[in-house]
């Protein structure tokens, strides 16, 4: 089975769940599907983060639950545990990494040369997540090895996302503090 819809005994709900789990087919890209899934996560972050934390956090929670369900169904569809074509976990992991940046949306931040600080932090989050997701240090690797089903597919990426968020949180917090201090000084 190479693509969505090839499992002829699949139910329509399994096909739909697999469509979600592969992030509308992004997971079917033959080279580095996880990286492409992460890029979809960055694009989704740019769309949703502008609505602020009161919307972003519930969205992330619901999207995570959807990922658990869809990943579990896709494992059945693909007849393989944690199939590489399932990339909804990378999308959600990337959304977790970038969560500390949500309060910075719309803030006037310093530029570093010709590059915007928000853009640089987004790139930092992307890279940090990919490093933790591929390397799987400590608890990331443990969750991958010890959890199964949709929870297992999602858990290691959620943990990698939390670790990446820690990498992003310090500079994001400093920038938020400096933006608030500049605002108070004017």
- In the block, tokens 């005994």 appear at 9
pLDDT band for position 28 (cuts 50, 70, 90): very high
For residue 5, being part of any structural domain is answered with: no
Residue 117 buriedness (CB in 10 A; 0-12 / 13-18 / 19+): buried
For residue 113, being part of any structural domain is answered with: yes
For residue 3, being part of any structural domain is answered with: no
- The whole-angstrom separation of Cα 124 and Cα 166 is 11
Q: For residue 111, which phi and psi values (nearest 5 degrees)?
A: -90, 145
* Average pLDDT of the chain, as a whole number: 92
What secondary structure does DSSP assign to 93-120, as a single string?
Answer: HHHHHTGGGGGGTT----EETTEEHHHH
For residue 179, being part of any structural domain is answered with: yes
For residue 7, being part of any structural domain is answered with: no
Q: Considering the entire predicted model, what is its pTM? A: 0.91
Query: Tell me: the pLDDT tens digits for 63-77?
Result: 999 999 999 999 999
Query: Tell me: the pLDDT tens digits for 43-94?
Result: 999 999 999 999 999 999 999 999 999 999 999 999 999 999 999 999 999 9
Percentage of the chain with pLDDT > 70? Answer: 95
Total structural domains within the chain: 1
For residue 1, being part of any structural domain is answered with: no
Domain that holds residue 149: 12-185
């Amino acid at each position: 089975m190479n693509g969505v819809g090839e499992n002829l005994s699949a139910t329509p709900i399994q096909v739909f769940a697999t469509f979600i789990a592969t992030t509308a087919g992004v997971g079917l890209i033959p080279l580095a599907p996880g990286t492409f899934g992460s890029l979809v996560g960055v694009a989704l972050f740019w769309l949703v983060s502008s609505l602020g934390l009161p919307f972003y956090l519930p969205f992330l929670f619901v999207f995570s639950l959807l990922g658990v369900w869809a990943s579990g169904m896709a494992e059945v569809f693909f007849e393989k545990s944690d199939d590489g074509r399932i990339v909804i976990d990378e999308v959600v992991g990337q959304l977790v990494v970038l969560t500390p940046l949500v309060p910075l949306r719309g803030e006037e931040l310093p530029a570093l040369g010709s590059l915007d600080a928000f853009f640089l932090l987004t790139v930092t989050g992307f890279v940090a997540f990919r490093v933790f997701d591929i390397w799987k240090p400590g608890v990331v690797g443990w969750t991958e090895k010890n959890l199964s089903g949709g929870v297992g597919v999602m858990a290691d990426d959620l943990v990698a996302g939390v670790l990446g968020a820690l990498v992003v949180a310090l500079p994001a917090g400093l920038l938020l503090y400096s933006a608030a201090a500049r605002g108070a000084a004017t």
